[in-house]
Structure 1
Amino acid sequence: MGLVPQAGHAAQALDPQAPQSACTLAPPASKYDESPTRCVSATVALDRVPAVGETATATVILRSEVDIPRAELAIRLPQGLRITSPGFSTPRTRGLDTVATSALSLGKSGRTVTFTVAADVTGPAQIQADLTDLAAPAEERSAHATEEITVGTTAASSKDAAVGTRSAGRYTNGSLVPQRKAAQTPRTAAAPDEICATGTLNYATYDGVWHPGRRFAVSAVGQATPDSTTTTLATGVTSAADGSYALCFKHSGPPLARLWVQFSTRTNWWEVTDMTGDNPYVVAVAPLTDVPAGTTQAFGTTTPDALHMRAFDAFDVINNIYAMRGSGTQCWTAAETTNCSKLKARWAPGNTNGGYYNTDPAIRAAFLTDAMPDARHPVVHEAGHNLQHLLYNWYWPAGDCPSPHSLHRATGAMCAWTEGFANAVAGYAMGDGRYYYNVTDWMDLMQTGFQDTTQAPARSNPDNGDAVEGRIAGAMIALWRDVDGGPQKTLVNMDNYASDTFDEWFNVDRAKSGLSVGRKARDVLYEHTIDYRDVKRRESVVNGGLEDQGAGWSWTGGVVGTFGYYPAHSGRYYAWMGGNGVPNEDTLSQTVAVPAKGTSLLGFYLRINSAEPTAAKPDSLALQVIDGNQSATVYTWYNTDKVPSYAHRVIDLSRFAGHTVTLRFVSDEDQGEQTDFLLDDISLKTS
């Protein structure tokens, strides 16, 4: 299916207070990233990797295609590295990092800034440089650059890289949790053959605010003797309320030699891994030694290393989407109760290959750049794409998104729908009705009123209508807040009906789940410039998705079901006609009343797989319309028309207006290789 890029970054025209030039300096690092080409760029490098007690000179090279009279250069370092040069503010603590800033002006000739850093502790470290235009803090006029190193005890053990996804647990003051002897006091009224491990996981966001690490995988791990095999003794997830955990397991006899806990960014519901998709981020707390049975061991509050903090932030913010689900199960959809399909994200320190969601069946993951978790909304946006893909049973509408595209400009109907939904998920889940491109640059999704055409289109003056993703996002959030009582019913609806556009979702599919499409709902849309006040469509087909075990349809050959070999286009049920490789006829039919007035369009999704030689046409699927004693074959598809995925077919049946007819699909195979005709989501809409 290819790649579905993330639209949330792009902005082709900024507000007047943020003047924009046609910039070419810093295009996105990945061809799939929909972020705009930037007007400024930055690189950061060290002349050497310092060992503990040594210093190194850092050089930040700034380039620009615009004049920025008031810029701020922020240098972010983990605790254990510090700036020793003048010219920067006193460092401020943010989580396990410190940030020092310098005010400067930047012209088109560029600028080079150097400073000295001293290394005080060993371990992985990330040196970050961020440039911001203070007068116009738009994404195009900002830059982010990083350098990852590992500080060793000597020059030989120091490295110009920081690899791996595991780190040692730290306290929130940044110090490593040391190995220590276990508490020896038995628990009151405790089972003498049990040990419990308790504590809390915390992490810090970009602004330095500490948050509980919610629903992370947590394990108690130990060794019976110093030389024995490491064993996982208990598993669970941290509390969704406060990040706490209590893991208990049976143990009797001599004390455990070692016991520790570790946390992972991979669970049964979602995960954040490195860029390979193979390795989650893991924090292991230093072990307790000599752990007796009948005790509770308090591990206290643990935090990840600064280098991996963003992975934990990205994982935790997806909790906000999980709270929106309406499945009624622990999974994202009602069809799953165990072995849940996951939302997946890939991230790594310094990564530039990001800003999009990959729909490839072998991947199905959001790719995040290094700094994207700082703004949080981009993470939720990309996870929103993953959620829609999952709800649609891994179907994705045909793409029409230009590159770049933006929240405030009209694009295509499909692009506006898929991107608008992802933006709505971000704005609603984060509770602010906004989309943040980065930590300083954002758009209000909830602005209403039609565009002022005397002014240039801008984020505060967006285009109108349902081809604009920002308008769709605002309309959906308003529906969830003011009409639907939340997004849960929308997600259930999308789990059962796959819509290619917002128009189809609202005017055709929304009411199928009992969601209001009345005056109040249409007025909400009109406030967001989507005018469906006079749209009236009638659906003539009953159970077009075949979900109610084929109710409303007649068939032969057992063609309706939940077959495991092929997926449905949406939901679970579909019709599988043919597929025998021997002389055989299958049928699927329903009698419908075609309205007397209007344009009636029969739409359905058809997938054809065939092993027949391409030159021959022995296998066919015919669409017949039976009107009284008359039968007309409207269209015939053959094995030579095979397509590897579902394709939307639309046929005008307006000539049967005012008649009650029978829609009949008939498959016919000969003796030979099999051909599979798969049908789903059949609809006859009149407007």
Structure 2
Amino acid sequence: MTDSGSGHFRACVKAPGTLREAHVRFRSGSTDLWRVVKDRTSQKEYAFNSPSRHDVSADQNLGTVKVPAAMSNAWHITDTLNLLYWKRDNPTSACWTRHQVTGACDQLTFVWSRRETDEGAGYFDLDGTDYVIAAGDMTDSEHFTLHEAAHWFQWQLYGRDLPEATNCDPHFIEKRSSTTCAWTEGFADATAAYVLGDYRYVDETGGETSLENDATTPDWDPGDEVQGRVGSSLLDLWAKDGPDGGNWKRTLRLMAAEPSDDFREYFTVDRPEANPPLTTRGAARDIITQHTIDY
């Protein structure tokens, strides 16, 4: 068993007598809930062994076991996905969402390679493999890892479906795209910031963008076609002093019950129909207005 906080682990074996040789094998996955694989074809996880011990007949302290540098990013992804899983708000099963029962969970797969392939990297392969494709040091940014995982998570909340995001290639935090693109990308930006407890996005190159914005923010387009406006609105709705109870749990329950095509539908149609309803007045209305969204 591994302590997810400290990384301490204890491995046991049931065998009579002395073991001639023993080692512990580590793989880049967490049970059957998420994994990191080398490529989308073989789907082999990264793995390595601890140094061997010989003639083992009692407890052994392996000390600090380090992931080989060449595959360390695979474990960084695995550890980062822990953070999202802990906040998934699914009390009904061990799965990512309420749509599945323990023992029949969908598995989140990241494909990570040390070098980018001809097919490119840095995206959720929707309607292809449904894997997240990453490469190199992209995943040094935990925001990037969580952003791409959030696309898969929203797809899961919506019952393996996502709204068709139009005018979304390319897309930018502060620029207008479309309502559907801003909704999916804004949710992903907000998820990364919410899970990490900050108010920014750090992209795969290390570039940092603050999600703080209002009508006076230079170079930001206005409205709900801008993913940064949508993402910051969500973060403020979920804030500890926000109108949604101090967290994102009620939004996740709503999304699992009623998929929204864009932020307008989420705010004006689906929030009032939540059980119990999520407010669209008062502080909630002030939040979206501050971020230049006007319904």
TM-score in same-fold range (> 0.5): yes
Residues 602-651 of structure 1 deviation map (CA, whole Å, 9 limit, x = unaligned): xxxxxxxxxxxxxxxxxxxxxxxxxxxxxxxxxxxxxxxxxxxxxxxxxx
Report what 2:103 is aligned to: 338
Asked if structure 2 preserves the Cα contact closer than 8 Å seen for 1:416 and 1:466, the reply is yes
Q: Equivalents in 2 of 1:359, 1:402: separation in Å?
A: 14
Asked if structure 2 preserves the Cα contact closer than 8 Å seen for 1:326 and 1:489, the reply is no
Q: Which amino acid aligns with 1:330?
A: A
Q: Which amino acid aligns with 1:367?
A: I
> Percent sequence identity over matched residues?
32
Asked if structure 2 preserves the Cα contact closer than 8 Å seen for 1:451 and 1:463, the reply is no
Higher share in helix: 2
Q: Equivalents in 2 of 1:439, 1:402: separation in Å?
A: 20
Asked if structure 1 preserves the Cα contact closer than 8 Å seen for 2:138 and 2:205, the reply is no
Q: Equivalents in 2 of 1:488, 1:392: separation in Å?
A: 15
Report what 2:3 is aligned to: 239
**2:269 equivalent to 1:487:** no
Question: Pick from 404, 410, 424: which aligns with 2:190?
Answer: 424
Report what 2:125 is aligned to: 358
* Equivalent residue runs for 1:38-49 within 5 Å: none
Q: Equivalents in 1 of 2:249, 2:228: separation in Å?
A: 21
CA-CA distance at 1:402 after TM superposition: 3.6
* Equivalent residue runs for 1:228-627 within 5 Å: 236=1, 238-252=2-16, 254-267=17-30, 268-276=32-40, 278-292=43-57, 295-328=58-91, 329-335=93-99, 336-352=101-117, 353-360=120-127, 363-438=129-204, 440-445=206-211, 447-451=212-216, 457=219, 462-481=220-239, 482-484=242-244, 485-511=246-272, 512-514=274-276, 515-532=278-295
CA-CA distance at 1:338 after TM superposition: 2.0
CA-CA distance at 1:440 after TM superposition: 4.1
Report what 1:226 is aligned to: none
Higher share in strand: 1
**Structure 1 pair 519–340 and aligned structure 2 pair: CA distance change class (3 A):** same
Q: Equivalents in 2 of 1:391, 1:466: separation in Å?
A: 21
Q: Equivalents in 2 of 1:262, 1:400: separation in Å?
A: 44
Superposition TM-score, scaled by structure 2 size: 0.90
Q: Equivalents in 2 of 1:438, 1:249: separation in Å?
A: 41
Work out which structure has the larger RCO, using CA pairs closer than 8 Å and 6 or more positions apart in sequence. 2
Report what 1:94 is aligned to: none
CA-CA distance at 1:439 after TM superposition: 5.4
Partner secondary structure for residue 504 of structure 1: helix
Q: Equivalents in 2 of 1:245, 1:261: separation in Å?
A: 10
CA-CA distance at 1:315 after TM superposition: 1.5
Q: Which amino acid aligns with 1:483?
A: P
Report what 1:587 is aligned to: none
Q: Which amino acid aligns with 2:223?
A: G
CA-CA distance at 1:428 after TM superposition: 1.2
Q: Equivalents in 1 of 2:202, 2:127: separation in Å?
A: 27
Asked if structure 1 preserves the Cα contact closer than 8 Å seen for 2:28 and 2:75, the reply is yes
Residues 375-414 of structure 1 deviation map (CA, whole Å, 9 limit, x = unaligned): 2211111101010111111112123034211111111110
Q: Which amino acid aligns with 1:321?
A: L
Q: Equivalents in 2 of 1:519, 1:490: separation in Å?
A: 18
Partner secondary structure for residue 477 of structure 1: helix
Q: Equivalents in 1 of 2:13, 2:269: separation in Å?
A: 53
Q: Which amino acid aligns with 2:249?
A: Q
Q: Which amino acid aligns with 1:345?
A: F
Q: Equivalents in 2 of 1:451, 1:274: separation in Å?
A: 45
Q: Which amino acid aligns with 1:513?
A: N
**Structure 1 pair 263–513 and aligned structure 2 pair: CA distance change class (3 A):** farther
CA-CA distance at 1:247 after TM superposition: 2.5
Unaligned runs of 5+ in 2: none
Partner secondary structure for residue 297 of structure 1: coil
Report what 1:28 is aligned to: none
Asked if structure 1 preserves the Cα contact closer than 8 Å seen for 2:11 and 2:24, the reply is no
CA-CA distance at 1:276 after TM superposition: 2.3
CA-CA distance at 1:422 after TM superposition: 0.6
Partner secondary structure for residue 233 of structure 2: helix
Partner secondary structure for residue 272 of structure 1: strand
> How many residues were matched structurally?
284
Q: Equivalents in 1 of 2:168, 2:83: separation in Å?
A: 29
CA-CA distance at 1:483 after TM superposition: 2.6
Partner secondary structure for residue 20 of structure 2: strand
Q: Which amino acid aligns with 1:356?
A: Y
Q: Equivalents in 2 of 1:489, 1:344: separation in Å?
A: 26
CA-CA distance at 1:313 after TM superposition: 0.9
